Amino acid sequence: MGNCIICGTAVDGAICESHEEDVVFEFRGSAPSQLTPGRYYRGVVDGYADFGVFVDIGDHVTGLLHRSELDQRLESLDWEPGDEVFVQVLDVRDNGNVDLGWSIRQREREFRGKLIDTGDTEVRPEDFEAEADEDTTESEAEPEGEDEPEEEPAAGELQTAADEAGPTDDTAAPNAAETVTSGSGSVATETPAASHATDDADDAEPEDEPALKRTTVESIDTQVGTVVRLEGEITGVRQTSGPTVFELSDETGSVECAAFKEAGVRAYPTVDVGDVVALEGEVERHNGDLQIETETLDVLEGEDRETVRNRLEDAIEREARPAEIDLLAEHDPVTAVESGIADAATAIRRAVMEARPIVVRHGATADGYVAGAAIERAVLPLIREKHTQEDAEYHYFERRPLDGRVYDMDAATNDVTSMLEARDRHGEQLPLVVVVDAGSTVESVDGYDLLSLYDAKTVVIDDSRADDEITDAVSVAVAPSLAGADVSNLTSTALASNVAAHVNDDVRADLEHLPAISYWEQTPEAYLELATDAGYDETAISERREAVALESFYQSYKDKRELVIDLLFGSEDGTSRDGDLAAHVSEQFRAKLETELETARENLQIEQVDGLTAAVLDTAAFTHRYNFPTTTLLLDALHRRQRDDADEPFVTLGVGDDELHVRATEQVDVRQLGDEIAAVAPDAGVRVVGGQDGHVEFLPGERDAVREAALEALGDTLA
């Protein structure tokens, strides 16, 4: 029994339960399971990731302070690797992962006391040090009961013993021990044969240890505790407060290799990302993950380097490209880009195999989210197979929604900043950027050019009417319009799901219902049949579409990975699969949409222009621009309902303060419309964003002129 250091209450240990959060603990245990959730611990910053900060708690445990737990933006933190910080342990998971929370107290004096958490109990620092000193003293003391060394017999006694033994056989003399008595009484004995053997041993060259045979990353899980030799490419380097951690990738996978020079000092400073190396070390488990404790690390040159490089390239080429193209269903615009689907799948698979991060950018719409989720569904299992660390999927895959359907300089600058920070802080390779449901028009070229300056590869998957300039700006373009296909009844999800099915055939069955979810109307029969065969009827499909559309609006800059997974694929407990979650959210979607539609219909202005019926909505005055639904989604729904009652060409026009959106019964080239408006209103600063399927932007002061010019141009075109 002891007393609480804060209130003096009798306790088992040194702190009572009510005051555990008033002291800071220094962890001296050896396993995550020895931590106590709720306590505050001293830690050292290990490194950054896009989703948070890794903090070392003691010498053997690392936890994650997720960005959602911070009281400020992650990029505004001024912590550097090696800095001392104070964090709260929120949870220790069954797999050993430690979830950390923010502490407003970031100095030891702000706590009411300090204790050592030994893993078994808590003790005062002075008691812990005293116990450590006592252990050291005992280990250095002379062991009791050790026998005293026997005294050497006097020379005379040895001589007497030799005389009593009698004469020796002369033939044996050369091998007998000779005894020599010195004048001082000391005795030296030597066996001539032994002396000769020692001389021979000194002259012989020491035998070299047999060289280790190369093994592969995929086979080391059965070799824990064994020294192995790996050959491959360094695909990541990060410096922790302790060792330098290299990520080595061979033709079968990737593993982290810890090399220690001294705490916080870069080991093997000449080894960097892209080097081909031979590494020897002992296989260990660190926080549940496989890791190599590096003993030697040599950069390969010349023929040795080429041998490993060719082995890696052959393996990548052999495994990355799909053996054949087997589309989810027959659909003409998708069939038109079979080769592009193969190229996109190959690029994504290569990125995984090369341990290159993948960043998926997609529109913040139902189609964009479902298309991005299809790629995510295919890639994550491959990353888990490739990498030995349990949190690899958070390092090597990220889905970032876009604001609109253009990959502009804002998005590109954000991505370049993130990738350079990841390269410099964590030694990561530059990512593959996959743009889905966006980015296929000239307005995105500047963004791609910025990426290309750093040799970052890009893939575009988009159902829009694309511009030819995109083919030279990106690595791979999956855009059926460039192949001359009719894209009027195509979604990006239909394209992305087919790409995903060829990235990872194991998840093909998980993807079959996704194309049907992405259609608001006129769903191709082939996709409805796929969804039905997968167990989703039309109600289940529409509920998921509406639920994703609603959730894509809120926190639109976040991927909402777990929520989207539950809505589209079902949670492990089956709630989403039974439809409870999707049905609940879709009910909210319909209620919110109907409210806005009612307001919009009451404020529509119907105009006749040269035989064209136009329904014009002042979106600045009669929509809640910052509430659900978005202007584009509202106009889509409004146009579908209004046009069904029209017997002639019909247009729905949404005119805001500085934007004009058009929906028509026939396809409209918005870029051409923008040119015609600019000709009539040359001072309106007209520009088109998003190409032929985009929208028109203009100066607010010329709003009325733009509105009239648009109606006139549409009348000439569609009537």
- Is the pLDDT at 335 greater than 50? The verdict is yes
For 217-315, give the CATH class. Answer: mainly beta
Q: What does the pLDDT read at residue 70? A: 83
3-state secondary structure of 434: strand
Going by C-alpha positions, the residue among 278, 500, 485, 256 that lies closest to residue 373 is: 500
Q: What does the pLDDT read at residue 136? A: 54
CA 14 to chain centre: 41
DSSP per residue, 341-369 = HHHHHHHHHHHHHTT--EEEEEESSHHHH
Is the CB of residue 381 less than 8 Å from the CB of residue 504?
Answer: yes
**Residues carrying CATH 2.40.50.140, the chain:** 2-138, 217-315
Q: What does the pLDDT read at residue 132? A: 63
| Average pLDDT, rounded, for the chain | 85
Q: What does the pLDDT read at residue 18? A: 83
The pLDDT tens digits for 213-253 are 899 998 998 898 899 999 999 988 988 888 999 999 998 88
| 392/268: higher pLDDT | 268
User: How does residue 646 score in pLDDT terms, banded at 50, 70 and 90?
Assistant: low
Is the CB of residue 397 less than 8 Å from the CB of residue 383?
Answer: yes
Among 20-29, 391-400, 676-685, the range with the most confident prediction by mean pLDDT is 676-685
The pLDDT tens digits for 144-198 are 444 444 444 444 443 434 344 444 444 343 343 333 333 333 333 333 333 343 4
Query: What is the greatest pairwise CA distance in the chain?
Result: 140
Q: Distance between CA atoms of 355 and 346, rounded to whole angstroms?
A: 14
Q: Distance between CA atoms of 55 and 87, rounded to whole angstroms?
A: 9
Burial class (CB in 10 A: 0-12, 13-18, 19+), 425: middle
- Work out the average pLDDT over 197-218: 62
Cα-based torsion angle of the residue sequence 57, 60, 65, 66 in order, rounded to the nearest 10 degrees: -170
Query: How large a percentage of the chain has pLDDT more than 70?
Result: 87
The pLDDT tens digits for 34-62 are 999 999 999 999 888 878 899 999 887 99
Is the CB of residue 241 less than 8 Å from the CB of residue 82?
Answer: yes
Q: Distance between CA atoms of 378 and 71, rounded to whole angstroms?
A: 34
Rg (CA), the chain: 36
- C-alpha atoms less than 13 angstroms from C-alpha of 65 in its C-beta half-sphere: 27
For 603-718, give the CATH class. Answer: alpha beta
Q: Distance between CA atoms of 549 and 639, rounded to whole angstroms?
A: 17
Burial class (CB in 10 A: 0-12, 13-18, 19+), 319: middle
Task: Domain 2-138: give its CATH architecture.
Answer: Beta Barrel (2.40)
**Residues carrying CATH 3.10.310, the chain:** 603-718
Q: Distance between CA atoms of 301 and 320, rounded to whole angstroms?
A: 26
Q: What does the pLDDT read at residue 167? A: 42
- One-letter-per-residue 3-state SS of 281-335: EEEEEECCEEEEEEEEEEECCHHHHHHHHHHHHHHHHHHHCCCCCCCCCCCHHHH
In the numeric block, the tokens 């995550």 are attached to: 32
Cα dist. 27→16, 19, 81 in Å?
18, 17, 19
Please indicate, yes or no, whether the overall pTM of this predicted structure exceeds 0.75. no
Count other C-beta atoms under 10 Å from residue 172's C-beta.
8
The one-letter amino acid code at 150 reads E
Q: What is the CATH number of domain 327-583?
A: 3.90.1640.30
Q: Distance between CA atoms of 14 and 454, rounded to whole angstroms?
A: 56
- Is the pLDDT at 355 greater than 90? The verdict is no
DSSP per residue, 190-250 = E-HHHHHHHHHHHHSPPPPPPPPPB--GGGGGG-TTSEEEEEEEEEEEEE-SS-EEEEEE-
43 membership: H or E segment, kind and range: strand 40-49
Decide the pairing of beta strands 612-618 and 650-655. Answer: parallel
Q: What does the pLDDT read at residue 525? A: 96
Q: What does the pLDDT read at residue 571? A: 61
Q: Distance between CA atoms of 87 and 71, rounded to whole angstroms?
A: 13
Decide the pairing of beta strands 187-190 and 178-181. Answer: antiparallel
Q: What does the pLDDT read at residue 664? A: 92
- Work out the average pLDDT over 303-320: 87
- One-letter-per-residue 3-state SS of 362-417: EECCHHHHHHHHHHHHHHHHHHHHHECCCCHHHHHEEEEEECCCCCCHHHHHHHHH
The pLDDT tens digits for 396-407 are 999 999 989 999
DSSP per residue, 687-718 = EEESGGGSEEE--GGGHHHHHHHHHHHHHHHH
User: How does residue 631 score in pLDDT terms, banded at 50, 70 and 90?
Assistant: very high
Q: Distance between CA atoms of 135 and 391, rounded to whole angstroms?
A: 39
Query: How large a percentage of the chain has pLDDT more than 90?
Result: 59
Q: Distance between CA atoms of 266 and 272, rounded to whole angstroms?
A: 11
Q: What does the pLDDT read at residue 456? A: 92
Backbone CA torsion sign across 276, 279, 283, 284? negative
Is the CB of residue 548 less than 8 Å from the CB of residue 370?
Answer: yes
- Lowest-confidence segment of 8-17, 373-382, 698-707 by average pLDDT: 8-17
